[in-house]
């Protein structure tokens, strides 16, 4: 199989994280009651689907590397989903779900920033376009899941015995 370079590896990682985000938003949607919060999760899932499409389109343009990038993305996706299963057991509630989401969205923000920094040297216009599109969206996702976590936390009885 073709070897991927660092830039392609990072592209694969943001792609895998976007795939894992679709699973995570679906899982967490099942843990919350609020229609408003469910709606926010659905929007994040749609944006994760669009991110996946755009990353895949970019991988498509890389001569002979597409399969290697998609394989690497699948690894990242599986690692993300495994983390989710470890973190969210059968007794997890909505707040647990959003605590996990803060980690997952922070990881996405971090990886997009890394890809952006790598591309400062590479200077590939299509990569830059994707980074410029995706980074603010991921930053908004992080803010959204943090706000949802805090909304749910504020509803908790701090003295309730688990
Ligand atoms: Fe996200």
The pLDDT tens digits for 26-69 are 999 999 999 999 999 999 999 999 999 999 999 999 989 999 99
Nearest CA-CA partner of 12 in 71, 95, 99? 71
> pLDDT-derived band of residue 98, with 50, 70 and 90 as boundaries?
very high
81 C-alpha to ligand 1 centroid (Å): 14
> pLDDT-derived band of residue 1, with 50, 70 and 90 as boundaries?
low
pLDDT at 78: 98
Beta-carbon contacts of 107 under 8 Å, excluding residues fewer than 6 positions away, are 17, 80
Structure confidence by residue, pLDDT tens digits, 113-150: 999 999 999 999 999 999 999 999 999 999 999 999 99
CA 67/CA 1 separation, integer angstroms: 8
pTM given for the model: 0.95
Could you tell me if 18 and 108 are in contact, meaning their C-beta atoms sit under 8 angstroms apart? yes
73 C-alpha to ligand 1 centroid (Å): 15
155 C-alpha to ligand 1 centroid (Å): 24
pLDDT at 162: 77
Average pLDDT score, the chain: 96
């Amino acid at each position: 199989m073709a070897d991927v370079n660092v830039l392609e590896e990072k592209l694969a990682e943001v792609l895998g994280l976007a795939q894992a985000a679709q699973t995570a938003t679906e899982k967490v949607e099942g843990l919350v009651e609020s229609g408003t919060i469910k709606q926010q999760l659905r929007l994040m899932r749609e944006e994760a689907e669009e991110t996946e499409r755009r990353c895949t389109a970019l991988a498509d343009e890389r001569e002979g590397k597409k399969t290697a990038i998609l394989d690497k993305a699948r690894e990242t996706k599986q690692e993300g989903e495994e983390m989710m299963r470890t973190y969210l057991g059968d007794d997890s509630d909505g707040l647990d779900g959003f605590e996990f989401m803060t980690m997952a969205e922070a990881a996405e923000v971090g990886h997009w920033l890394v890809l952006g920094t790598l591309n400062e040297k590479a200077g590939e216009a299509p990569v830059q376009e994707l980074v410029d599109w995706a980074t603010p969206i991921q930053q908004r996702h992080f803010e959204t899941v943090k706000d949802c976590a805090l909304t749910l936390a504020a509803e908790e009885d701090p003295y309730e015995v688990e």
